[in-house]
Structure 1
Amino acid sequence: MSTKKVILIVVVVVIIILGLAGTIAGYVFNKGGFTFFENNKKKEKVEKYYLSLDSIYCNIKDSKKVLSLKVTIELIDEDSKTELENKQFLIKDDINKIIRNKTEEELQGSEGLTNLQKEIKNSLVKIFDDESITNVYFDEMIIQ
């Protein structure tokens, strides 16, 4: 065999090997074919805890109307949930203070509710110095 034929055969074999190696590497990295790579992709699930408060009744600023509200607080720490359960009176007092400084217009619409949720959450985080409070939900909200 001539040297040109040997070089040509070696080049073709190297190209085939590189093509196979690239295909396998692409599968492993893009599809997560091996458990080693899958373990790096998994996100750690955070357990959530919920504290539901009894109905809260609040006067609305510059209005004869009353707001009836049921609130659920989402937390990511069980110890914080226990602490908040024992201090529900502080939570209710804080929510009352916030709502008594809101007008009917400020409480209207989805933007008003979202702003109120954020304000209550931020206030509770500040009062209890606890970043494990992640969200505030309204189970029921009635203005009469």
Structure 2
Amino acid sequence: TMNSTGPGRAVAIVYYTFLLISFAVFFYWLGFIVRKLQMRQNTPEKIAVLGKLKIARYVAMTVLLAVILFTGVWQETSAAKAIRMLTNGEAAAYAAEYEERLLLLNNPEITDVVLMPFIHQPAMIYTGDLPGDPEDPTSKKTAQYFGKNSIYVDYSN
């Protein structure tokens, strides 16, 4: 669901919601059955069933964890991607480029700002850049916000 719109995002949201709700319902019913058995008189047979249901909870959690770990799905989660992006320095490099831009944009002596395109574009945090045309409405609004005559990105290099 990262930084995209369209069918892929919708499918991912529905899929992950289905997984969460499925496990919530599963554990709800386990809890319901355990409660009902606890409320009744504890006979040896019922105690044995109760013990099996408690074990079933741990088995279900273990199966879920095993599926996540051994299928490699965890490597494609947003958390894993974010950790990878932070540890390999990509996020820090992007942040440094962003801070350099802010220095130019906030410098009152520079009235016409020509920016270089971002070299580092981490998929999770890079959402796009300004257009290459100073007459583009986005460029004009950005220039107005920063109090500049014009702002654009030079894509010719």
TM-score by length of structure 1 reads 0.23
The structure with the largest strand share of the pair is 1
Question: Which one scores higher on RCO, CA 8 angstroms, separation ≥ 6?
Answer: 1
Q: Which structure features the higher share of helix residues?
A: 2
